[in-house]
Amino acid sequence: MPPAAAGDAHHEFTVDNDGAPRLDLLVAQRLGLSRSQAATLIAEGRVHVGGRKERASFRAPRGAQVSVDVPPPPGRDVIAEQIPVSVVFEDEHLIVVDKAAGMVVHPAPGNWTGTLVNALKGRGQGLAEGSAEERQGLVHRLDKDTSGLMVVAKTDQALRVLSKAIAERLVTRRYAALCWGHLADERVTVEQPIGRDPNDRIRMAVLATGRPSRTDFVRLARFGATELLRCHLHSGRTHQIRVHLASIGHPVVGDDIYGGGGARKVVGLPPQRHFLHAALLVFTHPASGERLEFRSPLPAELRHSLETVAELPDLIASPNPLEYFDFYRADR
């Protein structure tokens, strides 16, 4: 069942445990909504428990069948906004940006403005149409609190070619991550299917019914309580790196959703930030056939965190800590 926020839908689920939270919280958790959104649906009579309307404070018993009808979102035009965005490459076919942490990629309920798509439209440029106006030009995405490189298509042809290359694993996307604990080996591959967590619609999880997913991890450096990893995506599931690392007991440092959010002061990491950065992007230009490679150094807050855990004078003096740890070496 997709998250309710995706649009008009009828959802049903069964309460599978005793002591379920009040109805507004229960609906919010199961459908990936805010509590206020769930309360509004209940007040509008769009939520039924065993065929009956109930109050937001009602606690459904084990085995109760809950149904929710979510109306389609109102039609919205994507607003062009003057928002700074770091552009590392641009021509008439595509644009490569270095997205800052904290920026949502495209408009959606709760984030209709301030997104990367709003910012790109604010630059006065055309974007490929894509599947919907709010996702114009998007070939792939990054989580809100993940920084780094993204390619966005300006033309429909570029979007088709690049999307096909992503699907055929012809685009190299490598991320730098700091994880808690120490991997069993220098190289670890996690190949586990990922789907939406049936108990919390905001999270993803390793599920037998999920979509096939593979991530390769290479240890670049080992510190006291953490390790610096290079992560290579072979698929592009939502939260993939974060879910795969959490599934083997080594969540991303600073990841509040998947268990890595504690001890921020120990690693010098600010609030609302996890240590995950899209540092390398390599693909073939959809029109010229030229091989393009882009590198993004660690943002200042992640560099500070890495210097904190590494305690290496040479690292502090290095122009790019990722080069110091051989992140870009293909044979590493």
Q: Beta-carbon neighbour count of residue 57 at 10 Å?
A: 11
Beta bridge partners of 108: 111
Q: Beta-carbon neighbour count of residue 211 at 10 Å?
A: 13
In CATH, which of 2.60.130.10, 3.10.290.10, 3.40.50.150, 3.40.50.300 is domain 4-70? Answer: 3.10.290.10
CB 254 within 8 A of CB 272: no
Order of strands across the sheet that contains 47-49: 9-14, 65-70, 47-49
For position 73, what pLDDT does the model report? Answer: 60
pLDDT digits (tens, 9 = 90+) for 99-148: 999 999 988 766 788 999 999 999 987 899 865 666 788 999 999 999 99
For position 258, what pLDDT does the model report? Answer: 95
| Rounded percentage of the chain residues whose pLDDT exceeds 70 | 93
Place of tokens 């992503």: 166
How far apart, in whole angstroms, are the C-alpha atoms of residue 162 and residue 153?
8
pLDDT digits (tens, 9 = 90+) for 178-192: 999 999 999 999 999
Residues with active-site annotation: 143
User: Looking at residue 9, what DSSP letter applies?
Assistant: E
How far apart, in whole angstroms, are the C-alpha atoms of residue 126 and residue 120?
9
For position 312, what pLDDT does the model report? Answer: 81
How far apart, in whole angstroms, are the C-alpha atoms of residue 263 and residue 305?
12
Q: Which part of the chain has CATH 3.30.2350.10? A: 86-167, 172-278+297-324
What contacts 91, CB < 8 A, 6 or more positions away?
none
Tokens of 139: 């070939």
Q: What are phi and psi of 221, to 5 degrees?
A: -160, 145
Kindly tell me if the per-residue pLDDT of 4 is higher than 50.
no
Q: What is the average pLDDT across 156-172? A: 93
- Comparing C-alpha atoms, which of 134, 36, 44, 145 is closest to residue 101? 145
Give first-to-last CA distance, the chain, whole Å: 40
Average pLDDT, the chain: 89
Kindly tell me if the per-residue pLDDT of 7 is higher than 80.
no
Note the CATH architecture for domain 86-167: 2-Layer Sandwich (3.30)
| Identity at 159, one-letter amino acid code | L
Tokens of 152: 């966005």
For position 332, what pLDDT does the model report? Answer: 57
CA 304 vs. chain centroid, Å, equals 22
pLDDT tier for residue 29 given thresholds of 50, 70 and 90: confident
* Helix, strand, coil shares, percent, the chain, to 5: 25, 25, 50
How far apart, in whole angstroms, are the C-alpha atoms of residue 146 and residue 253?
12
For position 331, what pLDDT does the model report? Answer: 63
Strands 194-196 and 9-14: unpaired
Q: By CB neighbour count within 10 A (0-12 exposed, 13-18 middle, 19+ buried), where does 146 fall?
A: buried
Q: What is the average pLDDT across 197-212? A: 89
In CATH, which of 3.30.2350.10, 3.40.50.1970, 3.30.2290.10, 3.30.428.10 is domain 172-278+297-324? Answer: 3.30.2350.10
Tokens of 16: 């599978």
162-169 long-range Cβ contacts below 8 angstroms, 24+ apart:
162/94, 162/283, 162/286, 163/139, 165/283, 165/284, 165/286, 166/139, 166/140, 166/236, 169/234, 169/235
User: Looking at residue 78, what DSSP letter applies?
Assistant: P
